[in-house]
Amino acid sequence: MFEFEYGFGNRAEKSRESSAAQMEVKMIKAWDADGHVSESEVTFSDKYWDPKLKDRRPAIIETGPDGPLYWMIDTRSFPIRSGPYQQAGFPLSKNGIAAKVTPGISPHDPVESAEMRSVQSRLAQLDREKTALQVLYPTMFLSYPITYDRELAVSMLRAYNSWIADLTSEAPERLKWAALVDPADPRTSAVEIERTKKMGAVSVMLLGVTGDFRIDDPAMEPIWAAANDAGLPVGVHTGHSFRALGQVNDTHHDKTAISFWLTVQFAFHRVISKGIADRYPNLRIAFLEAGCSWVPGLVERITDYSGFPGARAGVDFGRGYKANHLPKEYIERGQIYFGFEVDEKLLPFALEEFGDECWLYGSDIPHGDRLYGAVDVFLERKDIGEESKRKLLVDNTARFYAIDLPNENG
């Protein structure tokens, strides 16, 4: 009898502990590693724009009473909406008045929040979606090139960095930001990394492929070195930026399902196989907004063709693989991170294969293909452990961006 009561009591205690853990997880407010902001006229206003280029400031043009707005940049309209080389980044308002058509923006996100004309509107959006902190990435600058004029490109990026630093300073405990640089001007970019670090940037954004630039192009070494020296992690983001893929994928479906998604996979392969992770062993690198489903397959593929002893394809196929280790080792040592989608079916397998400390939650607010209420969707999953949920929603973001966690997640 005593043994029965003791056993029953032990099970009851475990049940209470389990219920408490589940309750704690359900109260989590996420740390969003990959949110976005939509650029507006304010981004390139006098406060942030280089006065030497006053006559070349990006302007917003109308296409008709019921059509979307476009940017006019260096005599070209932006973004390209149809055919080859499609882009993203339509302006959402002109003179503070919202456009009737706002392509690429979720109906759940008010324009004042998407553009952050009102920081309070964005904070209210985060509150509605159980998010305590958000790291902001751009929208129009996920496309490349925006202009072929390097001076103008650098001025646009500097204006953006100054603008987003100003906005986030209104709520620095909740809003963080990634600095933008121009891979076509690496030395100027290195200086910009130093400037933005002082302004409060928590990472540097690179696109997986930038025009014809591979992410491991020797010309880009000053950017990697500057990020490393500044102690800023690099967020490699999906983008409309790979010309070869943009040429053959000429519908909205094609560019989003294939071109946009593949850019970070190209980048991951180059970062590992060409030795960037070895040259900068203390530099954390994340591959964002491509989900997790591709990671197991590409890690296995790179491993098979690494030329390492025991690799399936043999030594000859490893010519060109310059890394000191296999891909999984860089992940396990805490240097490589990935975004994930909260509803991905392969996520439990990815956690089993690579552990639960390399995955970053990204809301994609305010973009149109995001999942509204994503935090709740994730917390309701039964195939992921409670401790892992907290790591994926909060702890990993804090570690990647080197942001201190409060004693209690707010």
Per-residue pLDDT of the chain (410 residues; tens, 9 = 90+): 333 233 334 444 444 444 444 545 567 899 999 999 999 999 999 999 999 999 999 999 998 878 899 999 999 999 988 787 778 899 999 999 999 889 888 888 999 999 999 999 999 999 999 999 999 999 999 999 999 999 999 999 999 999 999 999 999 999 999 999 999 999 999 999 999 999 999 999 999 999 888 999 999 999 999 999 999 999 999 998 987 777 777 887 887 888 889 999 999 999 999 999 999 999 999 999 999 999 999 999 999 999 888 888 778 887 899 999 999 999 999 999 999 999 999 999 999 999 999 999 999 999 988 999 999 999 999 999 999 999 999 999 999 999 999 865 44
- Return the half-sphere exposure (C-beta side, CA atoms, 13 A cut-off) of residue 145: 18
Decide the pairing of beta strands 203-207 and 69-73: unpaired
Residue 101 is assigned to a structural domain of this protein: no
Here the tokens at position 85 are 């080389």
With residue 5 as reference, give the H or E element that holds it: helix 2-26
Residue with tokens 């969003």: 32
Domain residue limits at 233: 20-57+106-401
Tell me if 344 sits within 8 A of 292, measured CB to CB: yes
Looking at residue 243, its pLDDT comes to 79
Looking at residue 67, its pLDDT comes to 82
Here the tokens at position 287 are 């591959």
Residue 94 is assigned to a structural domain of this protein: no
Residue 82 is assigned to a structural domain of this protein: no
Residue 92 is assigned to a structural domain of this protein: no
Q: How many domains does the chain have?
A: 1
* Eight-state DSSP code of residue 57: -
Task: Kindly report whether the peptide bond that precedes residue 145 is cis, defined as omega within 30 degrees of 0.
Answer: yes
Residue 44 is assigned to a structural domain of this protein: yes
Supply the CATH number for residue 344's domain.
Answer: 3.20.20.140
Tell me if 126 sits within 8 A of 95, measured CB to CB: no
- Return the half-sphere exposure (C-beta side, CA atoms, 13 A cut-off) of residue 111: 15
In this structure, the number of other CB atoms found within 10 A of the CB of residue 42 comes to 17
Tell me if 367 sits within 8 A of 106, measured CB to CB: yes
Residue 96 is assigned to a structural domain of this protein: no
Tell me if 192 sits within 8 A of 161, measured CB to CB: yes
- Taking the CA atoms of residue 72, residue 188, residue 86 and residue 79 in that order, the dihedral angle to the nearest 10 degrees is -20
Amino acid identity, position 194: E
CA atoms of 32 and 344, how far apart (whole Å) = 17
Widest CA span in the chain: 89
CA atoms of 98 and 330, how far apart (whole Å) = 45
CA atoms of 341 and 353, how far apart (whole Å) = 17
Residue 70 is assigned to a structural domain of this protein: no
> Looking at the whole model, is its pTM more than 0.85?
yes
